[in-house]
């Protein structure tokens, strides 16, 4: 076919106002060369149908390789070639697309994540670093994935215009429509019958672009489309925001966590509070509702509780802040026990599923299968996390097989409904408190709550029985950590048992926890649980169950320094165990009864109880508690028979080393160190106390650490290392106060008093002695009062009152006699002072038969001697 001039001249020239389409440009060039569509197709190696589609505009943006083939076939001159390439150039994606709206609120607390994402995606351009082309930004609903992605787009577009485009998929209901949604969002014109996938491949090929696909979790079957786009478009990168991962090749998952929030138990200064992003976000959003709102000393504690209760979840914080005009922080914090009913009425420009926190969570749960939903709601009974074993045991049942728990758990993890953490090689899982509230509401509605909670209780009761045995073995530290990790679960299980008035089960539960609470040093909590459980007991309750809970109560009271009540409860525990023939349990209760006797200075009674307990423990072959009994018998023997004490300590140490228990090894070491101090062998004493301290620090035994510190301070006092001694004593005092051990607090105060005497600080000595005496009188601790009386007598001598000093020395001797201690005072300076007054330090008076009168007399003597040394307000 030959073109006429008129035909050629009839073509409209291209203008800047009306750029010629590729279809017109191709047709003009073909006609100028007198080619048919079939002839051009043959020259270019293309199909005649393809040339026809191009000239009819069916495909308005040809691939680059197609343009190159046509150029070669048409043999255009330079001017024609330039026009042809310009017409065939693909539009810059997004030129006509809707640009993401500018954020109306500042992004708070995501500076690190924003920089990390930008750096991760920029790595694709580094010659020496691997390309990262697909990133899935995942996390629970309301954590701020969309907001962070939008900010990332703004940052990248500011660096290179058109570098990033955001495509919201929230309104897309069908995964098959994802391609069309992306095409429409990018402003690409329809291309006839060409499928969206092919249209996108054509449009995005060769373009450097970050495509941000927002809210992908409900269209996960469309994930292969993302892979196809990445394979077909080498310069394309994709960032997906989704509550669930795509699980496709090349995916880099970035999990977005809630904002850091302060722990309400540790109230910080205001400037420190504002360093927490959760607090800053809440304050900023609250100020938007109430312009004069500010964090201050009045509301800081409530704001901390709000941020902690909501786990630092941005959406939850914003919804809570929206209530600030109605509810001030204190009232708002009080109502967040049921946060899902409070956190409603979000901004109207948010999707409906984000206008209440309940709807946000329901959106995620709606994507789960029925078995996965069953697991999710049952997991709500766990408090503070759980292990896979616990989930399988508690959550499985007729409608959820144990073997199905693991895959369902993996799906919940993928959907960001739970989180995973590694703990000592064993994975643990947790759930945000707002998620847990939703799960529990769903569990209550299902009618499955009571059975699930009972299963949860039974699991943790069995766990505590196993832990009880593990704690007095070489695996003590392992079980200490396991109990600590699941203490909140144990508490919840016990609380449910008490709330349901299951008396016998509650008593047995408390009994199994007794030894655990000793090691965890939660003595006040143990006391409270035991008292609540014992209040449920009646005449039909098993005596053994009552005995076990009574034993736990007695040991807790003993550690709290309440030796009178401790002795009463431990005596009753022994009686009940003896009555039922529970030999080992009775022996153990008798051992702790002996400790309570020793705590009040009743050495004779304590020794009798220990001898019986040790014999019973040998009979039943319980080496662990026998080793403890030998150590305690050494403590009884040390004041009057140090050689016997040394043998007992040595046997105890040998047994504990064979067991391999650091907690136990430290006790006889400390006993041997005490003997070395009495003998003036301070080097040996220091070595043993330091080893004991190291052992106790290694297992985080705070109470034991405090004992070792106090013992070490005694060596330092005797070697005139006064500053080191004071530092160790003050650290020990803080630890004893933390664990609630007033008996040991009095011990430290006594040591501080003698340390002050050594430094000739009489006022400080008097202050410490005054506080220690008050505690010792309340505890009826006769040996401690005897030591204190000697210290106060030294102060009387320094004041020139020899008569009062004599009276105090005499009172000290009477106290030691009443306690059954047949040895002189253990303070060298006190012994020297007694000898200087001509007193016989080896001669003890007969023990008093009226301990109340003895205590009253000592209290009066001490008060009179200290009066001149104390400040008026004391």
Q: Residue 707 above 70 pLDDT?
A: yes
Tokens of 314: 């941005």
For 515-535, what is each residue's pLDDT tens digit? 888 878 888 999 999 999 999
Confidence (pLDDT) at 95: 40
Confidence (pLDDT) at 14: 34
Confidence (pLDDT) at 8: 33
Residues 165, 157: Cα–Cα separation, whole Å: 9
Least confident range from 510-514, 588-592, 600-604: namely: 600-604
Confidence (pLDDT) at 453: 97
Confidence (pLDDT) at 78: 60
Per-residue pLDDT band at 861 (split at 50, 70, 90): confident
For 378-405, what is each residue's pLDDT tens digit? 999 999 999 999 999 999 988 999 999 9
Q: Is pLDDT larger for residue 603 or for residue 399?
A: 399
Least confident range from 91-95, 474-478, 663-667: namely: 91-95
The length of the chain is 874
Q: Residue 632 above 80 pLDDT?
A: yes
Q: Residue 859 above 50 pLDDT?
A: yes
Per-residue pLDDT band at 849 (split at 50, 70, 90): low
Average pLDDT on 678-682 reads 92
Residues 758, 768: Cα–Cα separation, whole Å: 13
Q: Residue 79 above 70 pLDDT?
A: no
CA distances from 119 to 76, 106, 123, 129, 821 (A): 44, 21, 6, 11, 73
For 447-494, what is each residue's pLDDT tens digit? 999 999 999 999 999 999 999 888 877 677 788 888 988 999 999 999
Q: Which residue is it, tokens 């083939």?
A: 69
For 837-846, what is each residue's pLDDT tens digit? 888 766 667 7
Helical (H) or strand (E) element with 142: none
Neighbouring C-beta atoms of residue 581, cutoff 10 Å: 9
User: Chain centroid to CA 741: how far?
Assistant: 26
Q: Residue 121 above 50 pLDDT?
A: yes
Least confident range from 114-128, 337-351, 415-429, 799-813: namely: 337-351
* Terminal-to-terminal C-alpha distance of the chain: 121
Check if the beta carbon of residue 220 is closer than 8 Å to that of residue 175. Answer: yes
Average pLDDT on 754-776 reads 93
Tokens of 352: 């409906």
Per-residue pLDDT band at 94 (split at 50, 70, 90): very low
Dihedral sign, Cα of residue 63, residue 69, residue 74, residue 75: positive
Check if the beta carbon of residue 442 is closer than 8 Å to that of residue 380. Answer: yes
Neighbouring C-beta atoms of residue 539, cutoff 10 Å: 4
Q: Is pLDDT larger for residue 361 or for residue 491?
A: 491
Residues 747, 779: Cα–Cα separation, whole Å: 12
Q: Residue 88 above 70 pLDDT?
A: no
Dihedral sign, Cα of residue 38, residue 41, residue 45, residue 50: negative
Confidence (pLDDT) at 100: 41
For 1-58, what is each residue's pLDDT tens digit? 333 333 333 333 333 334 467 787 888 888 888 888 888 888 877 777 778 878 877 6
Residues 861, 436: Cα–Cα separation, whole Å: 61
Residues 751, 729: Cα–Cα separation, whole Å: 8
Q: Residue 655 above 70 pLDDT?
A: yes
DSSP 740-764: T-HHHHHHHHHHHHHHHHHTT-HHH
- Mean of all residue pLDDT scores within the chain: 85
For 255-303, what is each residue's pLDDT tens digit? 999 999 988 766 778 888 888 999 999 999 999 888 999 999 899 999 9
Whether pTM > 0.75 for this model: the answer is no
């Amino acid at each position: 076919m030959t073109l006429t001039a008129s035909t050629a001249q009839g073509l409209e020239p291209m203008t800047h106002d009306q750029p010629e389409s590729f279809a017109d440009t191709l047709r003009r060039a073909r006609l100028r060369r007198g080619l048919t569509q079939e002839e051009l197709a043959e020259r270019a190696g293309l199909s005649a149908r393809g040339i026809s589609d191009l000239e009819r505009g069916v495909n308005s943006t040809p691939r680059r390789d197609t343009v190159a083939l046509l150029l070669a076939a048409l043999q255009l001159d330079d001017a024609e070639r330039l026009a042809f390439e310009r017409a065939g150039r693909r539009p810059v994606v997004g030129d006509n697309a809707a640009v993401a709206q500018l954020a109306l609120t500042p992004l708070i607390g995501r500076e690190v994540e924003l920089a990390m994402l930008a750096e991760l995606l920029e790595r694709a351009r580094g010659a020496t670093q691997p390309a990262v082309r697909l990133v899935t930004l995942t996390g629970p609903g309301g954590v701020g994935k969309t907001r962070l992605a939008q900010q990332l787009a703004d940052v990248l577009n500011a660096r290179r215009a058109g570098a990033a485009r955001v495509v919201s998929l929230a309104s897309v209901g069908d995964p098959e429509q994802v391609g069309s949604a992306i095409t429409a969002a990018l402003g690409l014109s329809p291309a006839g019958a060409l499928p969206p996938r092919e249209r996108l491949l054509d449009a995005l090929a060769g373009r450097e672009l970050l495509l941000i696909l927002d809210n992908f979790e409900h269209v996960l079957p469309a994930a292969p489309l993302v892979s196809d786009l990445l394979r077909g478009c080498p310069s394309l990168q994709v960032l997906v925001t989704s509550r669930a991962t795509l699980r496709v090749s090349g995916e880099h998952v970035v999990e977005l966590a809630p904002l850091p929030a302060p722990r309400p138990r540790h109230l910080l200064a205001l400037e420190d509070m504002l360093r927490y992003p959760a607090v800053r976000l809440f304050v900023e959003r609250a100020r938007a509702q109430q312009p004069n709102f500010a964090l201050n000393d009045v509301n800081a504690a409530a704001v901390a509780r709000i941020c902690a209760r909501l786990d630092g979840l941005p959406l939850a914080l914003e919804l809570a802040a929206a209530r600030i005009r109605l509810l001030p922080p204190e009232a708002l914090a009080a109502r967040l026990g049921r946060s899902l009913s409070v956190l409603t009425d979000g901004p109207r420009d948010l999707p409906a599923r984000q206008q209440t926190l309940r709807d946000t969570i329901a959106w995620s749960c709606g994507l789960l299968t029925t078995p996965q939903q069953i697991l999710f709601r049952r997991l709500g009974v766990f408090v503070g996390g759980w292990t896979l074993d616990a989930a399988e045991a508690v959550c499985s049942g007729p409608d959820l097989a144990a073997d199905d728990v693991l895959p369902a758990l993996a799906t919940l993890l993928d959907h960001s409904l739970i989180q995973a953490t590694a703990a000592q090689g064993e994975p643990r899982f947790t759930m945000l408190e707002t998620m847990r509230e939703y799960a529990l509401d769903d569990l209550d509605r299902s009618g499955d709550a009571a059975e699930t909670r009972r299963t949860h209780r039974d699991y943790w009761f069995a766990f505590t029985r196993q832990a009880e045995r593990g704690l007095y073995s070489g695996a003590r530290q392992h079980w200490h950590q396991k109990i600590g990790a699941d203490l909140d679960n144990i508490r919840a299980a016990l609380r449910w048992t008490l709330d349901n008035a299951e008396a016998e089960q509650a008593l047995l539960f408390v009994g199994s926890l007794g030894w655990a609470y000793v090691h965890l040093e939660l003595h006040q909590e143990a006391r409270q649980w035991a008292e609540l459980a014992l209040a449920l007991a009646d005449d039909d309750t098993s005596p053994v169950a009552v005995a076990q809970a009574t034993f736990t109560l007695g040991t807790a009271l003993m550690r709290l320094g309440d030796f009178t009540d401790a002795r009463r409860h431990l005596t009753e525990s022994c009686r009940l165990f003896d009555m039922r023939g529970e030999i080992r349990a009775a022996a153990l209760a008798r051992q702790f009864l002996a400790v309570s006797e020793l705590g009040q200075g009743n050495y004779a009674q304590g020794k009798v109880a220990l001898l019986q307990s040790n014999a019973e423990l040998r009979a039943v072959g319980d080496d662990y508690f026998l080793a403890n009994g030998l150590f305690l018998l050494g403590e009884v023997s040390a004041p009057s028979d140090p050689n016997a004490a040394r043998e007992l300590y040595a046997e105890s140490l040998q047994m504990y080393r064979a067991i391999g228990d650091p907690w136990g090894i430290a006790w006889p070491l400390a006993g041997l160190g005490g003997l070395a101090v009495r003998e003036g062998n301070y080097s040996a004493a220091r070595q043993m106390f330091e080893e004991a301290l190291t052992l106790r620090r290694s297992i985080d035994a705070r109470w034991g650490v405090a004992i070792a510190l106090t013992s070490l301070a005694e060596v330092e006092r005797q070697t005139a290392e006064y500053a080191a001694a004071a530092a160790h004593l003050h650290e020990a005092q803080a630890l004893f106060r933390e664990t609630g051990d007033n008996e040991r607090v009095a011990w430290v105060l006594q040591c501080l008093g003698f340390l002050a005497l050594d430094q000739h600080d009489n006022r400080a000595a008097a202050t410490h002695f005054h506080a220690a005496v008050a505690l010792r009188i309340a505890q009826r601790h006769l040996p401690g009062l005897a030591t204190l009386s000697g210290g106060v007598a030294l102060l009387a001598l320094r004041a020139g009152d020899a008569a009062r000093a004599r009276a105090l020395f005499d009172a000290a001797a009477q106290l030691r006699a009443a306690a059954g201690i047949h040895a002189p005072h253990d303070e060298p300076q006190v012994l020297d002072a007694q000898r200087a007054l001509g007193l016989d330090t080896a001669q003890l008076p007969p023990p008093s038969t009226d301990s109340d009168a003895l205590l009253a007399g000592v209290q009066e003597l001490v008060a009179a001697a200290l009066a001149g040394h104390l400040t008026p307000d004391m």
